[in-house]
Amino acid sequence: MTGVMALHKRLREETRTLHEDLEHAVAIDEQISSRTRYCAYLARLWALYSAAESALGSHDFSALGFNYGACRRSQLIESDLSDIGVDLVNLRNAIRPKAPALPTIEHALGCIYVLEGSALGARAMAPEVETKLGLTGTYGAKFFWGYGEEGKPIWRAVLASINAIDPVSSEAERVIQSAQATFLFFRRWLPECSAAVTTSAVA
Ligand code: HEM
């Protein structure tokens, strides 16, 4: 494949401005400026990850060499909120926005790329969450610290599956379109101003 950009690289380039825009809109420093803000942020994240994970639940990735558990990232968020004392019943009863449809396995790969790739950025922020809020990888900030070594095989398998796709093909277009749609889903619902759906979950 000399001279042709592997699909992961293409994907990163085709979502770069969406990532930058999302990062800017979220203003993470403000979200971790107090435990109250942090919990509200986690509640919004939970609504989005759990909606996207439910959509992924209808796909079987075993032919690609990995399994994607239904609650990977959202489970960490639930555990963090529970550590801090947030009532999960309210959280689970809150209305969740509808995630973009994933009609094909390529759409599912585009979505997983965004969910699992976001763990890299979260991990980079984890030391700051610990310094500012006193929350750690075993108490309150598991979502930020992530699965560590345990999570790496999934990320590697996702990237291998993505890079096995011809980067100039209709399959590749589906992966890219879905990753962009997933970024836009987070962009629409994650910033604080669009929090109406979930803020009631956090006192
Ligand atoms: C809110 C503040 C955020 C910050 C400061 C941030 C920062 C970063 C950083 C530093 C990386 C590179 C990490 C590395 O290569 O080791 C990264 C990667 C990534 N982030 Fe974010 N991020 C944020 C939010 C998000 C969100 C909300 C999503 C999507 C839901 C997201 C999706 C991704 C993806 C897909 C990658 C992997 C790109 C690749 O290497 O292919 N990020 N982020």
Most confident of 34-38, 70-74, 190-194: 34-38
> Coil, strand, or helix at residue 132?
helix
- Tokens describing residue 159: 């990237």
Q: Is the confidence at residue 48, as pLDDT, over 90?
A: yes
Specify whether the CB–CB gap between 19 and 182 falls below 8 A: no
Counting from 1 in the atom list of ligand 1, the atom nearest the Cα of 113 is 35
Choose between 71 and 151: higher pLDDT.
151
pLDDT at 1: 45
Q: Is the confidence at residue 199, as pLDDT, over 50?
A: no
Q: What is the mean pLDDT of the chain?
A: 91
Q: Is the confidence at residue 72, as pLDDT, over 60?
A: yes
CA separation for the pair 73, 115 (Å, rounded): 8
- Tokens describing residue 149: 């070594």
pLDDT at 198: 46
Q: Is the confidence at residue 156, as pLDDT, over 80?
A: yes
As for ligand 1, residues whose beta carbon falls within 6 Å of it are 12, 19, 22-23, 26, 28, 113-114, 117-118, 120-121, 124-125, 186
Q: Whose CA is nearest to atom 24 of ligand 1?
A: 23
Architecture of the domain spanning 7-201: Up-down Bundle (1.20)
Counting from 1 in the atom list of ligand 1, the atom nearest the Cα of 186 is 30
Q: Whose CA is nearest to atom 2 of ligand 1?
A: 23
Does the CA dihedral 88-100-177-58 come out positive or negative?
A: positive
pLDDT at 193: 63
